Structures are given as C-alpha cells and as structure tokens.
Amino acid sequence: MDSDAFNRSTTYPKPIMNRLRRIEGQLRGVLNMMEREQGCRDIITQLSAIRAGVERVQMYVIGSNMERCIRDEVTSGMSSDEAIQEVIHALMQIR
C-alpha cells in the first residue's frame, strides 16, 4: 500500500513555511531553556505548543494534498477504496 501519490513534489504556501520556522525557533528556545535549567512547567508548555504546531502543519499537508492524491491514484489504476485507505493510513501516522 506504499503509493507514490503522497511522495510527489508539492509547493507549500509561505504561511506554512513560516509556521515551521516558528516551530524551529521554539525548539531552539526549549533547548536553551533546558541548558539554563529552567522550570519544568515552562518547558512542557513550550513542548505542547511545538506539538500543536507540528500537528497543524501535518493536517495542512495531508488535507491540501488529499484530493489530488486520491484522484492521481484512481487515474493510475488504483481502486477508490485503496486510494482512500492510503489517505487513512497517512492520517493514522499522525498519532
């Protein structure tokens, strides 16, 4: 069930790239907090924000590509049921 539809090149909008840059900065901030031995509560708060940001990016990537991927798979001969299973598999990888 490993198809190429979810592996095709895609252009992502600037707001998504900016969100990833923000997440990158938050990660650096957490490392800095740990090096300074800052409180656990503050670190956990930042880690929770990072996780939520990553999940939003994951959902955008899957959602923005879902229709195209299903159409491409069906056009290339995969049944619609198999194509939908590919999407479900991708969604399940988030958790």
In a domain, 77, yes or no: yes
List, for residues 36-71, the tens digit of each pLDDT value: 999 999 999 999 999 999 999 988 887 887 777 788
In a domain, 74, yes or no: yes
Structural domains in the chain (count) = 1
In a domain, 63, yes or no: yes
In a domain, 84, yes or no: yes
User: Residue 84 is part of a domain; what is its CATH number?
Assistant: 1.20.58.1000
61's CB contacts (< 8 A; 6+ apart) are: 10, 12, 16
List, for residues 75-90, the tens digit of each pLDDT value: 888 888 888 888 788 7
Helix ranges (H only) for the chain are 14-35, 40-75, 80-92
The residue segments making up the domain with residue 57 are 14-92
